[in-house]
Structure 1
Amino acid sequence: MKAFFEAIQSLFVDFLFKPHDWLRALELDNWWLANIVSWALILIGAKYTIYWCKELKKHQDNNEENQDTTAHSFLK
């Protein structure tokens, strides 16, 4: 049973966390390059937030959304 858990440890430490170790070492040389993944995720999130707001505005302008408080049974 001990070998099973050591195999899981080896999988994560020796293989799956290697990119994280590389980024951690890279941060000492170039902070911007090391955080490119974070910046990319922030930009993707901002893009889809803007898209979602535009879609909500489009539905509101077409009066497709029922904003009456009695529209939901749990609000009665």
Structure 2
Amino acid sequence: MKNFFEGIAYLCEEVLFAPFNTLREMELENWTAANVLNWIFMIIAASAMVYWILQLKKFDKNNEERKDISSHSYL
């Protein structure tokens, strides 16, 4: 059983986290290149937020949202 858990530990530490170890080593040489993944995620999140706000604005302009007090049955 010990070998089984050591195999899982090896898989996680040496195989699955290898790209993150490379990024960690690269951070000492070039900060921008090491944080490209973070910038990509921030751009995706910002574009999703802009899309969501534009969709809310579109539905508000078309008066498709029910704004009366009894819009939900539990109210």
Whichever residue aligns with residue 72 of structure 1, its letter is H
- Quick one: which amino acid aligns to residue 52 of structure 1? W
Give RMSD over aligned pairs: 0.8
- Find the counterpart in structure 2 of residue 18 from structure 1: 18
Q: Which runs of 4+ in 1 moved over 4 A?
A: none
SS in 2 for 1:67: coil
Number of residue pairs matched by the alignment: 75
Q: Work out the CA distance in 2 between the residues paired with 1:33 and 1:4.
A: 36
TM-score (norm 2): 0.95
Ranges in structure 2 where 5+ consecutive residues have no aligned partner: none
* Residue identity (%): 45
- Counterpart AA for 2:69: T
State the Cα distance separating 1:68 from its structure 2 match: 1.6
Corresponding residue of 1:70: 70
